[in-house]
Amino acid sequence: MSARSVLAYVTVALPPLALAAVGVTHPMHLTATSAEYWRNLHIAILPVFPLLAFAPWLVARGAGALLAWIVGILGFVYAAFYTALDVLAGIGAGGLKLDGMGMATGTVFGLGNHIGEVGSVSFIAASAIAAATAIARFRLVALPGSALVVVGAVLFLQNHIYFPIGVIGQLCLALGWLWLCGVIERTARDREPVVEHVDNAAVRTD
């Protein structure tokens, strides 16, 4: 396995696996008791959420420049708008609750959820397009991975990284993208030209 393949596997799998691990500890509700951890948790994972956008682009880029651009733009929209959700409903709401301004958290949550929904829908679209390109290119072998990433993206819309459904969604994303990257790598390896080395034996005649 090449270093490039290893990097691709790490790029697509590490962000959702990290979010799944964090999601296990994510409080189900924002309370005065959980406010500090809620705020700090979302500060810690602030740079992780945008990294989810790389996986659809890595899968789709082999299907042509146009689709790669479309998926890349959708990934950018996801990263921008979902970051707003993390900042508002995560860091902002946690900070307000911690400072005893709980009445303001409803407004912050509502605003964050509306903005974040744009990002989540964009992520679903990017993942679905990437999955469709994989099926078009690799047929049945790409179906399991494609199904996993679409399920994971849909679960992400409503459940984010909350345990257990949100965590399951992130695991689906990790496994699905790994599967598709594996399909891409195996196909590329199978298509490599085989170079045969033939030793020319010297024939001596008396």
Confidence band of 102 (pLDDT split at 50, 70, 90)? confident
pLDDT of residue 107: 85
Residue 13 included in any domain: yes
pLDDT of residue 196: 47
pLDDT for 73-96, tens place per residue? 999 999 999 999 999 999 999 999
Residue 206 included in any domain: no
Residue 183 included in any domain: yes
Percent of the chain with pLDDT over 90: 78
pLDDT for 163-188, tens place per residue? 999 999 999 999 999 999 999 988 87
Given a contact cutoff of 8 angstroms between Cβ atoms, the answer to whether 90 and 38 are in contact is: yes
Looking at per-residue confidence, does 154 or 203 come out higher?
Answer: 154
Identify the helix (H) or strand (E) that includes residue 13: helix 3-25
Structural domain including 144 reads 3-189
Angle at the Cα of 63 (from 143 to 160), degrees rounded to 5? 55
**At residue 23, does pLDDT exceed 60?**
yes
Residue 197 included in any domain: no
Residue 124 included in any domain: yes
**At residue 206, does pLDDT exceed 70?**
no
pLDDT of residue 192: 62
Given a contact cutoff of 8 angstroms between Cβ atoms, the answer to whether 50 and 79 are in contact is: yes
Hey, what amino acid is at 92?
Answer: G
pLDDT for 129-156, tens place per residue? 999 999 999 999 999 999 999 999 999 9
d(Cα 183, Cα 50) in Å, to the nearest integer? Answer: 24
Residue 200 included in any domain: no
d(Cα 93, Cα 89) in Å, to the nearest integer? Answer: 5
Average pLDDT over residues 64-70: 95
Residue 204 included in any domain: no
The rounded mean pLDDT for the chain is 90
Q: How many domains does the chain have?
A: 1
Confidence band of 64 (pLDDT split at 50, 70, 90)? very high
pLDDT for 34-52, tens place per residue? 999 999 999 999 999 999 9
Secondary structure of 56-95 as H, E, C letters: HHHHHHHHCHHHHHHHHHHHHHHHHHHHHHHHHHHHHHHH
Tokens 């994303």 found at: 173
d(Cα 67, Cα 63) in Å, to the nearest integer? Answer: 7
**At residue 104, does pLDDT exceed 80?**
no
Residue 194 included in any domain: no
